[in-house]
Amino acid sequence: EEEEMKDETVANNVQQSGSCYDTESCLRENAEYSIESGWDDNAQSMYGQTKLKLSQTKVVPVYIPPVQPFVVSENKWWDLVNGKVDWEPETFQIFQRYITNETTVIDFGTWIGPTLLFHAQFSKLSIGLEADPVAYATVEHNLQLNQKTIGNSGWASRTILENVAVSTPSDAGSLTMKSTGAGNSEGGVGNRVMGTTSQEWSVNGYSLPYLFGMWGVQLKPDPVFIKIDIESYECRLFPSFYDWFRDEAVLPTIFVSFHPQIEPCTRSQMTKVLEVFQLFARVTCKDDKIVLDITPDTTFDEFEEMLDEADCLSNKDNSDFVLSGRSESCEVN
């Protein structure tokens, strides 16, 4: 009975955190709250089984140029990036282009750690979020291996992990995450996932302003870089940033992946996406190579035409956008 009361209190706290839309109010309103995963028994079991398996798995070095080698639990996937980058090479180029030793990086979903263990080596602070219990157990294990190897003075000691989901303020609370197989990088809290759902579990979702408040991260004076790869939930999450960003004098750099091959955004959602895009000085697609001429006066029809001409939204693969700087044409209230 006491455990049920505790669970209910945590759930109420998470739901209450959804009411804040900016970092300052989140810091003020939620100081007494904490970040709880909200995993159900199924997720806890998968996490525990994975940790046990990893404790018996060989440790191997990995080198993703140009950062220093690091160590991970052996997994054939790492062959794609060890000594070369055959997996999303443009992603690593974008990290090097926008992240410096003054940048705080928020990375969700961080999966087993290829992006997190890379940019953490040259950022000021890197925070990874992963709601999949198998993937989280793996990236946690990999980070711990490097903390032991490097010691308290290295990059691994200034890297944080959270086993939660990022949600819209209105969705904050217990969410259902679905996957074709936990740990395979294709799970999400959206309506659909890639393939047929074979596993589900509960996890807490928090608004990003709430998490910023809990971490003490602010959009100024130091730069913030947010990487978003959440398997189609971005169609719902990304538009919710408008209420947060519209009154901020300084905006983060955002690297967001859309997944139309899983579930395309609706026209209503894309209208809201355009509103967020219009807050930024520069918006690019196609691996940061094509600049979209978006202004506060851009109509939705013009926006659609831009996306079609540049083939920014592909039904075959992820479609990435990079947003940087605040548009001088958008006034801050």
Model confidence pLDDT, tens digit, residues 260-275: 888 889 999 999 999 9
Distance between CA atoms of 50 and 137, rounded to whole angstroms? 6
Report the C-alpha dihedral over residues 182, 17, 104, 187, rounded to 10 degrees: 10
- According to DSSP H, which parts of the chain are helical? 2-17, 23-29, 41-55, 89-98, 116-119, 133-150, 208-215, 234-240, 242-245, 267-277, 300-310
pTM, full prediction: 0.89
Q: Give me the residue label for tokens 């940061």.
A: 288
69 secondary structure, DSSP code:
P
% pLDDT > 90, the chain:
71
Amino acid 222 reads: D
CB atoms within 10 A of CB 21: 20
Buried/exposed 28-44: b ≥16 CB within 10 Å, e otherwise: eebeebebbbbbbeebe
CB atoms within 10 A of CB 289: 10
CB atoms within 10 A of CB 243: 14
Per-residue pLDDT tens for 19-30? 455 544 544 455
At 221, is the pLDDT very low, low, confident or very high (cuts 50, 70, 90)? Answer: confident
> Does pLDDT of 63 surpass 80?
yes
Average pLDDT in the chain: 87
Peptide bond into 190 cis (omega under 30): no
CB atoms within 10 A of CB 308: 10
List 166's β-bridge partners, or say none: 206
Choice among 101-115, 191-205, 208-222 with the minimum mean pLDDT: 191-205
189-206 average pLDDT score = 78
Between 97 and 332, where is the model more confident? 97
pLDDT at 260: 85
pLDDT at 318: 72
Query: Would residue 213 be called left, alpha or beta, if left means φ above 0 and alpha means ψ between -120 and 50 degrees?
Result: alpha
Cα 71 → chain centroid: 23
pLDDT at 183: 76
157 secondary structure, DSSP code:
G
Q: Side-chain half-sphere of 294: how many Cα atoms within 13 Å?
A: 31
Distance between CA atoms of 120 and 137, rounded to whole angstroms? 18
291 phi/psi in degrees, rounded to 5: -90, 130
